[in-house]
Amino acid sequence: MDDMDVNFPAFAIAVAAELAGMHPQTLRQYDRLGIVSPTRTAGKSRRYSMRNVMQLREVARLSAEGLNLEGIRRILELENQVANLSTRVRELESALADELLTRPGRRVFAAGTEGDVISLRAGTRAQRNTAVVVWRPLSRVQSGATAREITRD
């Protein structure tokens, strides 16, 4: 049997309240305050997911530790944001893995002259530095010519 989706809205308010160890009126109040907001059916009745029930238990725990409802709301908001971002990261990692599997060898990298990384198209080569460097023996500087005179030559 497959694992149950923790975000599936399966429980009516009475069942969710019992699972969370709270009174249904408390769940209604938390919904009004935006602390734990369940999904709604077409008839506007509340449907709680297992994730909502876990959040209600977390609210009870944090409240017992002395946090006020606004602090608890903010904590749950941040936890939801982290969960959403983690889901997005997994989606992007999966898309990247799929891309790498379906298009192998599409990205090629080379090292630049300064140690930088250069991205190349597949099948191309890195451009070589073709600058001409003129070398002058040190003896000319020693014979009394200044550096300015040498660069003017």
Does domain 13-102 match CATH 3.30.479.30?
A: no
Distances (CA, A) of 6 to 49, 54, 71, 79, 98: 6, 9, 24, 15, 26
Q: Look at residue 105 in the predicted model and tell me its pLDDT.
A: 60
Alpha carbons 135 and 102: distance in angstroms, whole number:
50
**pLDDT score recorded for residue 146:** 54
Spans of all domains in the chain: 13-102
The three-class DSSP label of residue 128 is coil
Q: Tens digits of per-residue pLDDT, 105-122?
A: 656 667 777 777 777 766
Place of tokens 């969960």: 83
